Amino acid sequence: MTPLPDRFRPRAVIFDMDGLLLDSERVARDLIQATSADMGYPMSDDLFATLIGVPEDGNRLTLHAAFGPGFDYDALRAGYHARREALYGDRLPMKPGALAAVQAVRALGLPAAVATSTARRYAEPELAAVGILPLLETLVPRDEAARGKPFPDLYLEAARRLGVPPADGLALEDSYNGVRAAHAAGVPVIMVPDLLPPTDEMRALALAVMPDLAAVVEWLRG
């Protein structure tokens, strides 16, 4: 674990959603790979990893580059969502300690937000189903910012809605593009890895790399 600076204390916390609060990256990997294989396009774990933390417009380009312009991205998304609805509905599994982490942030008197690459029509019911939505000051989904991650727009909008300068917030992210987005916005960021391991770039951009949300909460309380 990279040591955290002792003197930095945020005035607000901005959470990513997929792979940080919700264990949705594993769900997405399994169901997208199954759907893609049914379409005749087997998808490797390495190719799926390039989709993590990227909005749909970027993933569309990535898969067209990998499989050719004839690949039906909309059919992939429709098949994935049908499978996910049948198995989970809106109640995706949470990452360990996710609800407790948001509750702890609020108990410390810090407003909480979510900035996600997922559209509101999906993000809002998913966060409501696990009890996180009522704890948030604001939700900033992909469709309410001009550009998605790795651009800074989602984090700049979250900071604006929270009423804090970006430098006074704290971002919690699991993906490379999420870390890049927070850093580009000037929001200090801690990486809590999920499917993507930390790299030298991530360690350079982040305040710290921490093993889980419980460790982040422990530091905030300290």
Report helix, strand or coil for 112. Answer: strand
pLDDT over 90 percentage in the chain = 92
What lies within 8 Å, CB to CB, of 70 at 6+ separation is none
Report helix, strand or coil for 84. Answer: helix
Cis peptide before 134 (omega within 30 of 0): no
Instruction: State pLDDT tens for residues 108-139.
Output: 999 999 999 999 999 999 999 999 999 999 99
Active-site position among 6, 16, 90, 194: 16
7 pLDDT more than 90: no
Architecture of domain 12-23+92-221: 3-Layer(aba) Sandwich (3.40)
Q: Which residue has the tokens 């305040």?
A: 207
Contact status, residue 190 vs residue 215, Cβ threshold 8 Å: no
Confidence of residue 6 (pLDDT cuts 50, 70, 90): low
Residue boundaries of the structural domains of the chain: 12-23+92-221, 25-88
Instruction: State pLDDT tens for residues 101-110.
Output: 999 999 999 9
The residue type found at 81 is H
Structure tokens at 57: 């417009």
Contact status, residue 166 vs residue 126, Cβ threshold 8 Å: no
**Could you confirm whether 16 is annotated as catalytic?**
yes
CB-facing half-sphere around the CA of 34: CA atoms within 13 A: 13
